[in-house]
Amino acid sequence: MINPWSSKQYFDYNKLKKDFGIEDLDNYFNNYLFQRHLIFGQRSLDYIEYALDNKMKFNAVTGLMPSGHMHLGNKITIDQIIYFQSLGADVFISVADLESYATRNISLEKAREIAINEYIVNYISMGLKPCNIYFQSNDPDTQSLSFILSNETNMSELKAIYGFDDSSSILHINSPIVQASDVLHSQLKKFGGPVPTVVPVGVDQDPHIRLMRDLAQRLRIYNVKIENNKISVYIKGRDDPHEYIDSAIGLLEKNNYETEKNYEYRSINIKNSNINDKIKIDLLLGNLEKDYNNFTFIGPSATFQRLETGLKGGKMSSSVPDSLIALSDSEENATRKIKNAVTGGRKTVEEQKQYGGNPDICPVFELYNYHVKENEYVQRVYDECRGGARMCGACKKEAAELISTFLKNLKDKSDESLSKIDDYLINKSF
């Protein structure tokens, strides 16, 4: 079981992909995070690729847990969000203050302070453009939709997914439903209706992704399936299916599909379709369905990122302060932590020169790999380490200078970024 609230580090990503059905990535995205396989898997990312190829609207959604300092391990998510925004995504960011209250006992007032000063200001300084940032506790869209979604699941399912038991608080049990609402509400009519939506996450968040995809599907009227390499559409619910079927056929025929309807079995067979038509047909019918169903959603896509290793090995954790570099750390403190980090180097300089180091297990090399965009530079560091030309002390010094410069640039921009907060924080009505 993957636990979204655990401090466990995950290393065998191939096993996780196999066990949980996470799909491989293709070479579609020209971005260093994808090129270096720091993003190692995906669910339904072809919906985002389709949207980009056809110049369609799409969303990028993430959340932040206001429970402590933002650190370098959190950065990969917002790096992706900024990248997707550069491709045209409408960005939605939820401040999970209800979840932090439920799981970490952090007051809403404290959560707001942490969110703004530790996260949002840094997001803006890193290059995030104006978007939709909101607090769960102050957003009626999220709260109302979570009520609707709660009717689509039960305790047996949540226990199976998350391991809840009779001692789990109702607020904690409800937090995954609120997270699903965070993602899906970006597709409400007021925001343009159902569109492809990507959610960058660590693999520890996959239970949330699977749940919200299931919930989105359960609310749909038109259920698009691949059967015998062709597309069939089934109409869910107890209403008379005639209007749904006739409307769908009219739209499909306008798009040059040949159809065969069956009112009794509440289905449409698309005779001249193939498996590559599924996304197009799903999006066409989703856009049609929103006229019948206020809760029409396209199942969210996800990218799965490797968790950056803590400087002491294992997962970055606030319970081990020297395992991470907070974006609020001083340059001096960051340098100290990097110089005291474990490495993939040999025991002696002589052995390092003779046999080379192992950057694949080195937290210091990960500072380059995750946070330096220039591929040639990172490859040179890797090759020099492997070849025995790079010593750990000099490598740590260089890494410390790079990270210190990054932290200084954030601090230099912080006042200006704080002055722009009102362009990002929103209050919405349902």
pLDDT at 11 over 80: no
Range of weakest confidence among 92-106, 258-272, 321-335, 352-366:
92-106
Please state which of the ranges 206-215, 234-243, 313-322 shows the lowest mean pLDDT: 313-322
Global confidence as pTM: 0.93
pLDDT, mean of residues 332-338: 98
Scan for tokens 């570099």, then name that residue.
Answer: 325
Contact 208, 4 (CB under 8 A): yes
| Residue 348 confidence (pLDDT) | 95
What's residue 36's pLDDT?
Answer: 96
Q: Supply 87's token pair.
A: 């491709």
- More confident position, 427 or 388: 388
DSSP track, 371-412: H---HHHHHHHHHHHHHT---HHHHHHHHHHHHHHHHHHHHH
Which of 12-26, 182-196, 282-296 shows the lowest mean pLDDT across its residues?
Answer: 12-26
Question: What's residue 429's pLDDT?
Answer: 38
Strands 197-202 and 222-227: unpaired
Percentage, residues of the chain above pLDDT 70: 97
Q: What is the pLDDT of residues 395-430, one digit of tens each?
A: 999 999 999 999 999 999 999 999 999 999 976 433
Give the pLDDT mean for 66-71: 92
Average pLDDT of the segment spanning 200-204: 89
Using left for φ > 0, alpha for ψ between -120 and 50, and beta otherwise, residue 42 falls in beta
| 233 pLDDT more than 60 | yes
The span from the CA of 340 to the CA of 388, in Å, is 21
165 or 385: which carries more pLDDT confidence? 385
Beta bridge partners of 80: none
Between the CA of residue 324 and those of 107, 190, 305, 320, 409, what are the distances in Å? 24, 40, 17, 8, 19
pLDDT given for residue 203 in this prediction: 84
User: CATH top-level class for 13-219+297-307?
Assistant: alpha beta
| 201 and 77 Cβ atoms separated by less than 8 Å | yes
- The predicted model gives 250-267 an average pLDDT of 97
Residue 10: pLDDT band (50, 70, 90) is low
- pLDDT tens sequence across 103-141: 789 999 999 999 999 999 999 999 999 999 999 999 999
Q: To which H or E segment does residue 91 belong? A: strand 90-95
**Helices and strands: H and E segment counts in the chain:** 18, 10
- Other residues' Cβ atoms within 10 Å of the Cβ of residue 411: 15
pLDDT at 4: 58
Fold annotation for 321-421:
Tyrosyl-Transfer RNA Synthetase (1.10.240)
Average pLDDT value for the chain: 93
Torsion of CA 376, 78, 174, 307, to 10 degrees: 20
Residue 430 pLDDT: 33
How confident is the model over 272-304, as pLDDT tens digits?
Answer: 999 999 999 999 999 999 999 999 999 999 999
Over the stretch 338-369, which tens digit does the pLDDT of each residue have?
Answer: 999 999 999 999 999 999 999 999 999 999 99
